[in-house]
Structures are given as structure tokens and as C-alpha cells.
Amino acid sequence: MGIFDFLGGQFIDVIHWTDNTRNTMVWRFEREGHEIKYGAKLTVREGQTAVFVHEGQLADVFTPGLYMLETNNMPIMTSLQHWHHGFKSPFKSEVYFVSTTRFNDLKWGTKNPIIARDPEFGPVRLRAFGTYSIRVTDAAKFLREIVGTDGEFTMDEISFQIRNIIVQEVSRVLASSGIPVLDMAANTADLGKLVAAEISETIKGYGLTMPEMYIENISLPPAVEQALDKRTSMGLAGDLGKFTQYSAAEAMTAAANNPAGGGMAAGLGAGMGMAMANQMAQAGPWGAAPAAQAPAAPPPPPVEHVWHIAENGQTKGPFSRASLGRMASTGDLTRETYVWTAGQDGWMRAEDVNELAQLFTVMPPPPPGA
């Protein structure tokens, strides 16, 4: 990462750093076995800061520019080395280059849901994720508080701590914002700025700042999202009364096509559809109270049972009870005839069904042994 020019094989004459990793925040200029020559050239490029550490103490800090390392531009080092009256010999010092450019597109996200109180839905669990950028604003403080003596410090070494601070602040802001969940998507930009401002106050003590922070998404648990989708679908249905009538008609059509249900299922579906339609017609739009109290509609007529009979291995019907009475009088229905209706547990003889047994009491039963 660095290019070193040596003078006479012993003294370093040029000190500078070029970085191609896009991830290194601090890099120490290795001078092991070498001494920095008094009067050497120091090149600090844009987006960098050079910090001298002499005998364990932070000394001079250099911003972008080209410097001749002499007493006139190294005041702290001059004071530490007592160079006030001139000193031309080489000196040993550690030089740290700190990148002051932005580190962009860093990811953050909540591991666990954030519990918040929504004004419309009540307590909800939220998840959020996004990106942020970090920048070193005080190189000396950053070295003192975070880096220490690390010779090559990368963004990965501090990103975990920054993410924890972001999640903590996002949790606090979302829980106390009072913004409904359905309106948070329209306020993510403002929420991101608010969170970034709060976090910058915290990481300022590290010598860092957060120029940008984005909330890309705020989501609800899958079960809640499904319920919300269902509610949206109901809203798209429009007039709930008409929607109910349509649903009842669909149910009657399905029942009529069901061979097991027969005419009874169709009659039951019609009765339920009429009752629900009458109730919905009296109500106003969905969610609103009716405009005026209408007189109660009469209940739907009772649904008459219908029966199927088995004859010669085939099923006939359905027949109403009145039809079966006429058949009993003509002999087409006997006590031994097997009958079935919806809800009955299998085929039964007509005389064993209480409702049909009465049809055979008008005539005496055949004498024994007949």
C-alpha cells in the first residue's frame, strides 16, 4: 500500500500512502529498522490525515499537503525532542495514515423485532434494515479511542459496534415516533435523518460522524401482513352488502353442484343468502352505522327436508315429504323402502325414520305371516 524511497539504504526520505482496498481506515507506516530523516518529505493526499506518535504520545497531525519534516512544521515533535535550538539527526517515530473519506453502503438491520405501540393496530412488532456511511472527522481521537496500536485497522473491525448503536437508536425512534405503521414508508427519509443525527452525537466521542443513514424497509411479521392484505381485499370489494350477496350466490351454485348435498343444500343456501342479503340491505356502508332503523324483516321460511330413495340399485329423488306421502298411498313407497336425507347416517328403512314412519299409520300394517 505504501511506496518507500530510501536514502543511502538507511534513511527514509519520502513518507506517503496509497490505498486500493476501500476498506482500510488506518494504516501504520512501517519503519522497522529505519529512522526518519530530519527534513524528509511527507505527502498527505486528499481524504487522508497523517498522525505522528512519538514515544507513545500523539504528536503532530498533518492534513492534506506536502511537508518538509523540520522544526517549523512539527511544533509538538520539536517540543518533545527539544529541537528549539536546532537538531539535524534522524529520529524515530510512528506515522499513522487515517482515511477521512466516506465509507459507504454499510449494512445494518434489526436481529430481533422492535415492539412499538401503533395508534391504529395497537402493539406491533417491527423489523427494519438499511444502509449507512461513516467518516473519520478527528483522526487523533479515533486513534486514541478505537485503533490503539493496530497497524492496519479496517471498517469491519468497528462495523459491528456501529450497527449495535444504530439498532438501539432506531428502536428508540420508531417506538417513540407515534407514526402509524401504514405511514412509516412515507417518513423513512425523515426518520433516517433523525436517527443519523442522534447517532452522530454518540460516535462523535470516537472521532467519527455519520453523514448519511437510510431506512430501506420497515416490515411487520408475516401473519400481520397477511391480515393486512385480507383487510385491503375487503376494502377493494366495495359495498359489503353486494359482496355478501355475490358470495351467497356463489355458495348456492357450489351447493347445487354437490351431489351429496342435493336439494336440501340448495334450499339451505338460498335461505341463508336471503337472510344475509336482507340484513346487509338494512345496514349502511361497511364500517358505518345505518342511517335509520328499519323494521325487522320476517325470518326465512323453514327449509323442508328432501329425501332420496333407493330402488333396484338406483337412486331417485329428491322428494319432499308430501311427495313421499302420495307415493306411500299408491304403494310406490313401502315400509321396507330405503331412504336417505342430508345429515342421516347412511340409508335407513322408511319405517325406521320417525318423520316418515307417520306416513304408514293411516293404514294398518300387514297381518303377521302375510
pTM (predicted TM-score): 0.56
Lowest mean pLDDT among 29-43, 90-104, 187-201: 29-43
Convert the pLDDT of each residue in 309-359 to its tens digit: 888 888 888 888 888 888 888 888 888 889 888 878 888 888 888 888 878
Biggest CA–CA distance in the chain, Å, is 147
The answer to whether 273 and 249 have CB atoms below 8 angstroms apart is yes
pLDDT at 41 over 80: yes
In degrees and rounded to multiples of 5, residue 233 shows phi and psi of: -65, -40
pLDDT above 90: percentage of residues in the chain: 21
Q: Which fold has domain 306-360?
A: Dna Ligase; domain 1 (3.30.1490)
Which set of grid coordinates corresponds to residue 167?
439498532
> So what CATH class is 103-224?
alpha beta
Residue ranges covered by each domain of the chain: 5-99, 103-224, 237-282, 306-360
Mean pLDDT on 260-268 = 52
pLDDT tens by residue, 130-176: 999 999 999 999 999 999 888 899 999 999 999 999 999 998 888 88
How far apart, in Å, are the Cα atoms of 101 and each of 67, 96, 206? 21, 15, 16
